Amino acid sequence: MNIFTDINLFPLWNSLRIAAIASVLVFFLGILCAYYVARLPRVLKGILDVFLTLPMVLPPTVCGYFLLLIFGTKRPLGMFLAQYGIKFVMTWYGGILAALVVAFPLMYRTARGAFESFDETLAYAGQTLGLSNSYIFWRIRMPACKQGIIAGVVLAFARALGEYGATSMLIGYTPGRTATISTTVYQLWRTNDEQGAFFWVMINLAISTVVLLTVNLLERKQRGHAKQTKAVKA
């Protein structure tokens, strides 16, 4: 068997679309939560911070278990959504939900750190000029924090792309329907197809390497920008 001609690339396409859609959702949700949580009192911020970052420390299979408890076909919410044709169990878009849950903390923590390091005097200056809060956020705050925000998106995408535990619990493995790179590696290994499993491991390794190089480049640019800012202020 020639693996390069016989391989089915659906797991790559499915993983990429799940990770891409989840990253877009995580981008907006992470920024929204990070911005408002960073402005809360310390006690309330601490409570919400623990809740929002809990999926980062829980085993992914536990996250998948909780998703099944909420969106399972025999659960109230799952049955309600099924009436409208929405089913997260054993569907490819259920993988988006699983990836979103496990990737969200990375985006949230990174964005919150970027917002907390933002020089608020820039926002105050914008307010004195009569600029709206929306304008200040998108034209002043976001550009100043863009390196951290982009790094959070890249990390969230990488986490979503490599997700296995919650994904396998919620959508399982169905060739041509729900298979992802991670679930395919396990399935091929389980069936003693080491050549096929190795192929997908190399694909995942290549993508992860590109992601890490991108994050390192962004961090280097962010440090350079911080040094320039300090030099100007000095």
Q: What is the pLDDT of residues 46-89, one digit of tens each?
A: 889 899 999 999 999 999 999 999 998 889 988 999 888 889 99
> CA dist 135 to 40, 139, 140, 150, Å?
21, 6, 7, 20
pTM over 0.95: no
Q: What is the pLDDT of residues 142-186, one digit of tens each?
A: 888 888 888 889 889 989 998 999 999 999 999 989 999 999 999
Average pLDDT, the chain: 87
> CA dist 84 to 78, 79, 81, 87, 90, Å?
10, 9, 5, 9, 16
38 three-state secondary structure: coil
Q: What is the pLDDT of residue 1?
A: 45
